[in-house]
Amino acid sequence: MVVGAWVLVAVGVALRLGSTSPLWLDEALSANIASLPVGDLLDALRRDGHPPLYYLLLHGWSGLFGEGDHAVRALSGVFGLATLPLVWFAGRRAGGPACAVGVTVLYATSPFAIRYSTETRMYSLVALLVVAGWLAVRRAQDRPTLARLALVSLLAGLLLLTHYWSLFLLAAVGACLLAQVVRDRLAGRPAGVPARLAVALAAGAILFLPWLPAFLAQAGSTGTPWGAPARPAVMLFQTLGDWGGGPASESLFLGLCLVLLGLLALLGRAVDTNRIELDLGTRPAARGEWAVAVLTLALAVVVSYASRAAFAGRYTAVIHPLVVLVAALGVVVLPGRRLRVAVVGAIALGGVGFGVANLLIDRTQAGQIADAIAAEAGPDDVVAYCPDQLGPGTTRLLGDEPPGATFPEAGDPRFVDWVDYAARVEAGDPAAFADEVVERAGAGAVWLVWSGQYRTVEGVCEELVNALAARRPGWSVVVESGDQFEHAWLHRYAAP
């Protein structure tokens, strides 16, 4: 049985080593921004809406290992692999050897963790820092030396510089620590340890201060124009589905299994080999992790609604490792070794299945579109993109030839400027843009990569399709929109 567990871990490790899909929008944007000189990189991030740590690390990594798809994704794979031994230590500390094995298998085969270990984004770094932070806090609770408290501060600051949802996580941890201070004071106990930890956590914000002006500017002008705010129930079910592997009923079931096992850790206690007793007063082993996870999500819901921000399941990388940890504690509660092995094995095999799908399924249609353009494009051709969000992935594959332009402002197709995005799209003129790209093409053909399913451009790209058809009547559909996560049409408007 132990051998089977480590075989599953080895499979999970292998599935973190890459993906066959071309980079989709967010990945291509990350790689393109990271390729800039540091000063330009930081300036581009101010228009992108993210903090700088991951991009700076990717900048250095790319300088050493190159900017190819496998190279830029490998950094996330390194973070994902580095998280696994820390998860084992966290499980051993939380629930002993059985919990350590359980959490390592569950995390190694987690479709969510596998996906973001193969994506050129910051989420596997977030998970690594969260698990390291959990261990640092636990060690500081044992003995709050200056060095241990400084490590808590450092990790808190690094989290803030990696993803803004870390604000919700750190606020939740701080609230729980302050609640413990109040409880200890009311009970007449010394509250020095939780108070010191709360101060150490707050001190981590010092690292964030240099980036604070950029964050405030981003908060006022970038936001998430690509999506609408989600209702709490929608956020919950989307999160469960993403934790389980994606938008499918089976993935929702896998995500739900993690939560149910976590609830078992919070409320359950094995009475004998056939019975589990529920304690509604909750059990202390998982109480802190559940409080942090629930409060983090609650804060995110409130702030997202108040700021009209969109939600994506990947943001929950700040709590996902904690939920997997309490799920492993729930496995330990199950009566009987065979039942525990069967439950972990079933969830792990389901995760491996979705992990294989992640390896093989294209996330974007950019590869198909780029191949079609490269096969027929002439030296004077121009590629137009509507919306600009379709530019980075396809341009990354095409390179500089043929040149490209993005609606609404005929900008550089390698990047997306999210500052006042909706207002700039609304002010865009499809007819004027069509005139510009036709003029640029001259005697060459115009290629249009477009989709009408992006928020803020509803109906606009269709207007551009018609405007180009009026100027270049000899047009054809080269690629039809597919069922990939990022999909688009490719039209060719022949030279006059």
pLDDT digits (tens, 9 = 90+) for 167-200: 999 999 999 999 999 988 888 888 789 999 999 9
Q: What is the pLDDT of residues 232-282, one digit of tens each?
A: 888 888 999 999 988 777 889 999 999 999 999 999 888 877 788 888 878
What pLDDT score was predicted for residue 1?
62
Give the residue with greater pLDDT, 412 vs 249: 412
DSSP string covering 111-123, please? HHHHHHHSSSSSH
Q: Report pLDDT for 18.
A: 81
Q: What is the mean pLDDT of residues 44-71?
A: 95
Query: Which pLDDT does position 457 carry in this prediction?
Result: 87
Summarised one tens digit per residue, pLDDT across range 324-343 is 999 999 999 998 889 999 99
The tens digit of pLDDT for each residue in 198-229 reads 999 999 999 999 999 999 999 888 877 777 77
Residue 232 burial (C-beta neighbours within 10 Å; 0-12, 13-18, 19+): middle
The dihedral through the CA atoms of 261, 265, 269, 273 has a sign that is positive
Distances 174 to 29, 178, 201, 321 between C-alpha atoms, Å: 33, 6, 7, 18
**461 and 489 Cβ atoms separated by less than 8 Å:** no
pLDDT band at 370 (very low <50, low <70, confident <90, very high): very high
Residue 50 tokens read as: 């993210």
Please, what is the average pLDDT of the chain?
93
pLDDT in tens, 120-168: 999 999 999 999 999 999 999 999 999 999 999 999 999 999 999 999 9
Q: Residue 85: pLDDT above 90?
A: yes
Q: Quote the pLDDT of residue 188.
A: 81
pLDDT tier for residue 5 given thresholds of 50, 70 and 90: confident
Kindly give the interhelix angle for 38-48 and 25-34, rounded to the nearest 10 degrees.
150
Could you tell me how many residues make up the chain? 496
Q: Is the pLDDT of residue 458 over 90?
A: no
Per-domain residue ranges for the chain? 2-360, 366-493
Q: Token pair of 109, please?
A: 């085969």
